[in-house]
Amino acid sequence: RIAYVNGAYVPLAEAAVNVEDRGYQFADGVYEVCLVVGGRFWDEEGHLDRLDRSLAALEIAPPVGRRALRLIASEVLRRNRLRDALVYIQITRGVAARNHAFPMRPVPPSLVVTAKRFDLEKSERLAAIGVSVVTAPDIRWGRADIKSVSLLPNVLAKQAAAKAGATEAWLVRDGKVTEGASSNAWIVTEAGEIVTHPATHEILSGITRRTVIDCAEALQLKVVERPFSAAEALRAQEAFLTSATNLVMPVVAIDGRKIGGGRPGPMARRLREAYIRHCAGR
């Protein structure tokens, strides 16, 4: 496998950054994960817009323009002979002698792009049975909307899920489910309302989340952006999660208790199909 690291395409095993990279020392950087299917980037503008927002929030200047970044990502895919892939883009503030505050004179940001194969068929098979989640306390900082590489709370929550044999952790703050450790959380109420946490500073505003809202509204379905509790999720008709990696994925159990009879619901299926149709342009 080949990675792009600061201007060079190198074998992944040799791809490395400086030990004084601020991403390594302070998690002072941001990232994006984009899905590519059949060589086509899904929600590309959304992901690149969010990358710009994350960079701006941390006052990191974009190391390359959008066109160049697209070319680099395409070249990484080409060199890895990938048509269906997850592209990972990471930008950190760069290399500087260790000191918490930004370097006095700005250093060039570090840019890394890698890609790994994505299997849509496998994802479809998983969506046909659904996944389980466990709840975990949301112990993250107050700016979860910035897609920073500072992911320790997410790592710990995901590990708790893995330990419990679940796929995802739903994070709970003040009694409300904010989102998943690496996805957005949704329920469908008895009234048929599709509910997800509003895009505040407490969640990462998912690109898939946004597109799924648009798809739902195009289907004349009712989406309500409001917080919901774990108890409400347990009573819901359906639950599902969204992310670039999972598209729309039915959730069939929360903390070991079945949702919607333990089987994927019709709404999740419908939204998944709509999302795929929208992104694949068919």
Interacting residues toward ligand PMP by CB under 6 A: 33, 154, 179, 182-184, 204, 206-209, 242-244
With tokens 């409001």, the residue in question is 226
CB neighbours of residue 273 within 10 Å: 14
The yes-or-no answer on residue 147 being catalytic is yes
Minimum distance from CB of 176 to ligand PMP (Å)? 15
Minimum distance from CB of 101 to ligand PMP (Å)? 27
Give 130's contacts (C-beta < 8 A, 6+ positions apart): 249, 250, 251, 252, 253, 262, 263, 264, 268
DSSP summary character for residue 249? E
Which of 96/204 has CB closer to ligand PMP?
A: 204
CA dist., res. 152 & res. 141, Å (int): 11
User: Which amino acid is present at 121?
Assistant: E
Identify which of 92, 83, 84, 144 has the alpha carbon closest to the alpha carbon of residue 113: 92
Which of 72/169 has CB closer to ligand PMP?
A: 169
Which of 77/87 has CB closer to ligand PMP?
A: 87
Minimum distance from CB of 205 to ligand PMP (Å)? 8
Minimum distance from CB of 74 to ligand PMP (Å)? 20
CB neighbours of residue 133 within 10 Å: 28
Identify which of 239, 247, 240 has the alpha carbon closest to the alpha carbon of residue 190: 239
Cβ atoms of 198 and 227 closer than 8 Å = yes
Q: Within 13 Å, how many C-alpha atoms sit on residue 29's CB side?
A: 23
Minimum distance from CB of 196 to ligand PMP (Å)? 11
CA dist., res. 175 & res. 1, Å (int): 43
Out of 147, 158, 163, 176, the active site residue is 147
Identify which of 245, 249, 281, 273 has the alpha carbon closest to the alpha carbon of residue 47: 245
Minimum distance from CB of 5 to ligand PMP (Å)? 22
Tokens found for residue 172: 């709970």
Which of 135/208 has CB closer to ligand PMP?
A: 208
Which of 93/197 has CB closer to ligand PMP?
A: 197
Identify which of 209, 7, 239 has the alpha carbon closest to the alpha carbon of residue 133: 239
Which of 20/119 has CB closer to ligand PMP?
A: 119
User: Could you list the active site residues?
Assistant: 147
